[in-house]
Structure 1
Amino acid sequence: MAISPAEAHDASHPELDGWYEKLESGKGPCCDGSDSAHVEPSDWETQNKPRSHYKVRLDGVWADVPDEAVVTGPNRDGRTLVWYYDGWTGHSGIPGKVIKCFMPGTMT
Structure 2
Amino acid sequence: MTNSNGRPTRLYRLIAARMAGLSAAAFLGISTAYPHDAMRPELNNWFKSLKNKAGVGCCDSGDGQHVEAEWDMAKGGYRVLLKHPHRPTEPGQWFDVPYSVVIDQPNLSGIAMVWWWPRFDTRGSMIPMWRCFIPGPAG
> Shorter-chain TM-score: what band?
0.7 to 0.9
Separation of aligned partners in 2, 1:32 and 1:19: 13
**CA-to-aligned-CA distance 1:57-94 (integer Å, 9 cap, x gap):** 101011110000101111000001111101268xxxx7
CA RMSD of aligned residues (A): 2.2
Q: Which residue of 2 aligns with 1:81?
A: 113
Moved beyond 6 Å, runs of 4+: none
Question: Is contact 1:85–1:99 with CA below 8 Å preserved after alignment?
Answer: yes
% identical aligned pairs = 36
Change (3 A) 1:87 1:34: farther
Question: Is contact 2:107–2:136 with CA below 8 Å preserved after alignment?
Answer: yes
Question: Is contact 1:8–1:20 with CA below 8 Å preserved after alignment?
Answer: no
1:33 aligns with 2:57: no
> Which is helix-richer, 1 or 2?
2
Query: How many residues are paired up?
Result: 95
Which amino acid is 2:107 matched to? N
Q: Which residue of 2 aligns with 1:104?
A: 135
| TM-score (ref. length: structure 1) | 0.75
Separation of aligned partners in 2, 1:16 and 1:7: 13
| TM-score (ref. length: structure 2) | 0.60
Larger Rg, first or second structure (1 or 2): 2
